[in-house]
Structure 1
């Protein structure tokens, strides 16, 4: 598979310490979103991250609601601890996220003009990226910019940035990030791109239109992140997803899987049956992407069912715990982890 796609070193692979680059290492690095306290307080959690991951990303910490409790205060406690852990153990850390419509502190609702929005956006990126310049080498600069049901006249999701700056906020964020850290890899991240639905097809089109426009105007953008919060009750459009990724690849853009999990509230209760179904869906998603290019990374949104956002929104009707991630609540490997290992290593062949 690798021979057909080229042998250039991936950005993450190049960044890993020399001792980590063993012949058995996967061609595609794997990572997981992490919660800060368990990294230091739960030895089993720490071991799971170190046993399986080359990348971490903070599940929280770099979102505005965490960083900016007040307009004039930046609280870097969480990301500083996450990055210290990564650097101590030879891992990469991705930055998530600089600009998002969600997880915003209440004070941002008082932003009242384009001038004020521009000032807050630019000064936030200058402060955050400046603090981690050269240490965090990949950023989800704009997270989830595409509307859930995009139309020709309204492809971009509503947000404080869209309301005051229009879609130009995306270009402003990318150019500002590039100016502060010219070596950083800049990513736009979104979800539901894989779905075989009218809204999924519309999101793919709106996303491609946005990327083409940015590229045509030489806006700095290096890769697209496909989140992959997969719903097994909604079919994956394999050909549509592969074609979407192929178009990104043809434009010279990289592709990352950034937030993979399988939302299992619609799946049968028996654990073995459910775990097999979760793994099968993850495999279908990854293979559809891999048919077009070699992803730069595969990152799951958490590593263990012990720590997952899924029950907050998708509690199972039978009362059983959700099982959306590669390791179970006791940090034991599930079939999904084997799928990820097989996929990331297949590009060595």
Structure 2
């Protein structure tokens, strides 16, 4: 390469870097979600490993500016934190808790007992005694380590099928319904100061809601503590179930439970084959029809997303006496799991901040809604 060519190459590279920087420059915002809704409910987000380690300064600044609650997206799940029978890995979980404490945030542990993302040694368990020993060891070790630090635990995650029946997980197969009682009893002993939640998707839908109500009643009748229920909130702008959500918030609150919206995102893409739920194990092959907005979201769809978020937060504000927290499942669109689920490689736009951490119309719409609500 000649000197002239080399200089030209460097100039072009510098221009490209400058263009990339300015194309992703954050627009200044005087509004903060956590401050806007501070009298109503906590505003949370899920953190991945890079965010816990503060690798991206712009994203880190956004998290601290906008959110006062954090949930461990994956690093407290069993396959990460308890990879072998006698081995625990607390490195990222410790960093997550330290991040929350340093920034005075409400800290959510996610999750103690879940049928998915289990390490091989749990999947291989065949006996009742062994699964009991695992649950005892896992919950006692993990929850007790963070007792007084983690404010809330999703004790059991996704124990129900869509019709409200029990999911045939390894825990249910070996212990039956008793595993739910055991999990909450163990969690209450290990972390007596933490709030204890049951967390699931689609439990705003009537049949699954009925199953969740029976699950809660079973715990309450056994004299066990359950403080709240987490409605995951993986919804779509083309089919937002507002009536069912409101009915569920009211019904769960009547049982003496706090209601948290725990994993909120609003998908904007076509729903493949009328898929229901948010089972991470479901995968489908894609095509261009299922990934229509590769480069950017059309204004018409962006407006529809903003409309949906405004309607949703109008409902949340109406029932702010019942709702303890609203947690978004990701910081910005680029961090969303919906980019790869249920079809790998799709480009989705389900959150309030774009891939450059810039607030979208949906952000401004709900902040303005709160300002109107406060007048």
Pair in the same fold by TM > 0.5? yes
Match of 2:29 in 1: none
Match of 1:127 in 2: 141
Pairing of 1:69-108 with structure 2 (within 5 A): 69-108=83-122
* Separation in structure 2 between the aligned mates of residue 95 and residue 344 of structure 1, nearest angstrom: 29
* Separation in structure 2 between the aligned mates of residue 42 and residue 283 of structure 1, nearest angstrom: 29
What secondary structure sits across from 1:142 in the alignment? Answer: strand
* Separation in structure 1 between the aligned mates of residue 75 and residue 118 of structure 2, nearest angstrom: 12
Structure with greater Cα Rg: 2
* Separation in structure 1 between the aligned mates of residue 203 and residue 94 of structure 2, nearest angstrom: 32
Q: Does 1:210 pair with 2:215?
A: yes
Q: Does 1:294 pair with 2:322?
A: yes
Pairing of 1:185-204 with structure 2 (within 5 A): 185-194=195-204, 200-204=205-209
Match of 1:163 in 2: 173
Task: Say if 1:347 and 1:137 are closer, same or farther in 2 by CA, change over 3 A.
Answer: farther
Pairing of 1:254-333 with structure 2 (within 5 A): 254-266=258-270, 269=293, 270-292=297-319, 293-315=321-343, 321-333=347-359
Show structure 1 runs of 5+ residues with no match.
Answer: 1-20, 195-199
What secondary structure sits across from 2:355 in the alignment? Answer: coil
1:348 positional shift: 6.2
1:26 positional shift: 4.2
Aligned-pair Cα RMSD in Å: 2.4
Kindly indicate whether the alpha-carbon contact (under 8 Å) linking 2:82 and 2:88 is maintained by their aligned counterparts in 1.
yes
1:343 positional shift: 6.5
Kindly indicate whether the alpha-carbon contact (under 8 Å) linking 1:232 and 1:266 is maintained by their aligned counterparts in 2.
no
Match of 1:32 in 2: 45
* Separation in structure 2 between the aligned mates of residue 23 and residue 112 of structure 1, nearest angstrom: 51
* Separation in structure 2 between the aligned mates of residue 24 and residue 203 of structure 1, nearest angstrom: 30
Task: Say if 1:181 and 1:344 are closer, same or farther in 2 by CA, change over 3 A.
Answer: farther
Pairing of 1:107-146 with structure 2 (within 5 A): 107-146=121-160
Tell me the alpha carbon deviations over residues 208-227 of structure 1, each in whole angstroms, 9 at most, x when there is no partner. Answer: 12112222222210000011
Query: Comparing 267-276 with 238-247, which one deviates more in the overlay?
Result: 267-276
Match of 1:251 in 2: 255
Show structure 2 runs of 5+ residues with no match.
Answer: 1-33, 272-291
1:24 positional shift: 8.0
Tell me the alpha carbon deviations over residues 323-349 of structure 1, each in whole angstroms, 9 at most, x when there is no partner. Answer: 111110000001332355456778867
* Separation in structure 1 between the aligned mates of residue 145 and residue 85 of structure 2, nearest angstrom: 18
